[in-house]
Structure 1
Amino acid sequence: MADPADIRNWRRRPDGITTSGKLEPGDPARLAAIGVRHVINLALDDHPEALADEAAALAAEGIGYTHIPVPFDAPTRDHVARLDRALAEAEGPVHVHCIMNWRVSAFFYLLDIAAGMAEPEARARMAAIWDPLTSDDPRAAPWKALLSP
């Protein structure tokens, strides 16, 4: 089965991890169909676009679930470390998502650099979704602070 590329900001990384924005009610079954075995969610449960009862919907498809709620206006290095640990502990293949794939792409920017990837390559991967380092949007300010050395 092909990747469900119609899921908001869907991406498949070279390491096989898939990422996206919000999930819709039918998406857990679609993720299971492509072999996803664990989902990590960085969005807040109370976001208006969050999938209701996501953990239960994924469990019904045999998919494990880790929730790391990251307030969009207050991301921290601890959140990134928690994602890194969750990725190491999860039985893959793994899918990581939030609402827009912005949290996810920014966190992978930091993880990719920590793993030895050149900054321009990590930045290009992030910028394919969004680039808070060059954004004039005031919502990007906490992300600029998080991503700056």
Structure 2
Amino acid sequence: MPALIRRHRIDARLLTSGQPWPEQFAGLQQAGIEAVINLAAPTSPNYLPDEAARWQALGVQYAALPIPWEAPTREHVEQFCALMDRYAGQHLLVHCALNLRASVFVYLYRVLRRGEARDAALADLHAVWQPDAVWQALIDATLG
């Protein structure tokens, strides 16, 4: 079975990655994933239109918040933070197509809601990627 795309463990209850392959869903559920937040847009090349049904069949809670690659906004960040708060305390997978959107949004959540030090959270973000100009602008606008 292939590895998760750009898999990155944040802590014992939070995992980020790119789009899981259908054959990985059951293994993730068996490994303890209780909820999934998908930030991929339907136009992403590896998008699974039936993903919600696949997770729900395994008893895993699922939420989709499609984030446009070229136009992420503070409103998207606020919506994401509300979803993260909803699943607080659960073993959670946050993913998108390649763990780029997911890593930025999780970084922002950690700083804004968890009150974590920017440097510590930034190390996890940079372990996945260095945000391009569009995504760095979102970070700068959100964190001031």
Given the two structures, how large is their TM-score scaled by the length of structure 1?
Answer: 0.85
User: Once superposed, what is the RMSD of the aligned Cα atoms?
Assistant: 1.8
User: Would the aligned equivalents of 2:33 and 2:60 in 1 still touch at CA under 8 Å?
Assistant: yes
Cα distance in 1 between the residues matched to 2:30 and 2:40? 23
**Residues 1:51 and 2:48 aligned together:** yes
Residue of 85, 105, 111 corresponding to 2:103:
105
Residue of 116, 124, 139 corresponding to 1:147:
139
Q: State the match for 1:120 in structure 2.
A: 119
Alignment of 1:27-38 (within 5 A): 27-38=24-35
**Residues 1:23 and 2:20 aligned together:** yes
How far is 1:41 from its partner? 0.2
Q: Which has the higher helix share?
A: 2
Q: State the match for 2:74 in structure 1.
A: 77
Residues 72-100 of structure 1: CA distance to partner in whole angstroms, max 9, x if unpaired? Answer: 10111111111111111127211110011
User: Would the aligned equivalents of 1:23 and 1:51 in 2 still touch at CA under 8 Å?
Assistant: no
How far is 1:22 from its partner? 1.0
User: Would the aligned equivalents of 1:5 and 1:11 in 2 still touch at CA under 8 Å?
Assistant: no
Cα distance in 1 between the residues matched to 2:136 and 2:8? 22
Q: State the match for 1:136 in structure 2.
A: none
User: Would the aligned equivalents of 1:23 and 1:50 in 2 still touch at CA under 8 Å?
Assistant: no
Cα distance in 2 between the residues matched to 1:83 and 1:67? 10
Where has structure 1 moved over 3 Å in runs of 4 or more? none
Equivalent position amino acid for 2:139 in 1? L
Identity %: 36
Equivalent position amino acid for 1:13 in 2? I
SS at match of 1:13: strand
Structure 1 residue runs of 5 or longer lacking an equivalent are 133-139
Residues 12-35 of structure 1: CA distance to partner in whole angstroms, max 9, x if unpaired? Answer: 212511110011111211111111
Given the two structures, how large is their TM-score scaled by the length of structure 2?
Answer: 0.88
Q: State the match for 1:60 in structure 2.
A: 57
User: Would the aligned equivalents of 2:8 and 2:128 in 1 still touch at CA under 8 Å?
Assistant: no
